Chain A
Amino acid sequence: MEALVGLLVVLLVVGLLVVFVIQPGMGARRARERLAQETANVVITNCKELVGAVPGSKPPVLVTGQAVIAGNPLVRQLGTLRRIFGGEVGLFTSLSVWASHLAVLRMVQEAKRLGYNAVGNVRIETSDLGEAFGKGKTVLVEVVAYGTAYDVQEQPG
């Protein structure tokens, strides 16, 4: 009986660890795939001007997208551990990638919803909301992506 309980506890811990390790990478990958789909026929650039583009039927407009992603306890612990020897915290990187891809995705979706086919002068900003919303105990990454949506007749390239 005790062995069974012990086994269940071990399985639960292993399961949680697997979920915690896989989750940020999975989220980042899913967001990247959806971003690739959504941006298939949209020009996105962080250049100030869209080279060669001819203004279309609609005047340019500001579009934004944002995402707030929380880190799981493993991410926090790894972050703390990493402080000893330094180096990249892979799970943390995945978390940031996940948030920024989601933010850009939402910005592009807004542009498409409004009937635009290009976004120029894209800016991506990350801020730490752990202090504001997480009482300093949780990892909270906020990313906002914004740019100017254009309706261009002839796309550059």
Chain B
Amino acid sequence: MLVVNTETVPGFRIVRILGLVQGNTVRAKHVGKDILAGLKNIVGGEIKSYTELLTEARRQALERMMAQAEQLGANAVINVRFTTSSVAAGAAELYAYGTAVVVEPAGGYETPAA
């Protein structure tokens, strides 16, 4: 599956648009990790455990989006966007969305697998 955040894919031609696909996840922080984060909150600086949590969550949102695209029979998702928002105290929502399309190679590339 080709995933890009551009409207076109260099080296490929879009032959069919299958529609909007999305994936999201709402993540709460881990109590154990939060104790360390709480300490870091006092001095400031990067909070690695939150960064990791959001990286993992964003990956999951992307995977859900790709699974939806696969169901539609797409082999690429274009124009992907991410958003993060606080939905409740202690939880953050990560949202990924894009357009599922079917592409065929216009250059030297091979047809991407679904």
Interface of A toward B, CB cutoff 8 Å: 19-20, 23-24, 27, 48-50, 53, 55, 59-62, 64, 66-73, 75, 95, 98-99, 102, 120-121, 123, 125, 127-129, 131-136, 138, 140, 142, 144, 146-148, 150
Residues of chain B within 8 A of A150, CB atoms compared: 10
User: Which B positions have Cβ atoms within 8 angstroms of A?
Assistant: 2-12, 29, 37, 40-47, 50-51, 54-55, 58, 62, 80-92, 107-109, 112
Select from chain A the residue with minimum beta-carbon distance to B83: A125
Indicate if the CB atoms of B43 and A72 lie closer than 8 Å: yes
- Looking at the assembled complex, report how far the CB atom of A135 sits from the nearest CB atom of chain B, in whole angstroms: 6
Minimum distance in angstroms from A19 CB to a CB of chain B? 8
Q: In the complex where A61-B3, A131-B89 touch, is A71 in contact with B44 (Cβ < 8 A)?
A: yes
How many residue pairs bridge A and B at CB < 8 Å? 134
A selection of 6 A-B contacts at a CB cut-off of 8 Å is: A23-B43, A23-B44, A64-B58, A125-B84, A129-B50, A146-B82
Establish whether residues B92 and A129, one from each chain, have CB atoms under 8 Å apart when the complex forms.
yes
- Besides A55-B107, A72-B43, 8 new A-B residue pairs in contact (Cβ under 8 A), listed by A number: A23-B45, A55-B109, A62-B3, A62-B4, A67-B46, A72-B42, A140-B47, A142-B54
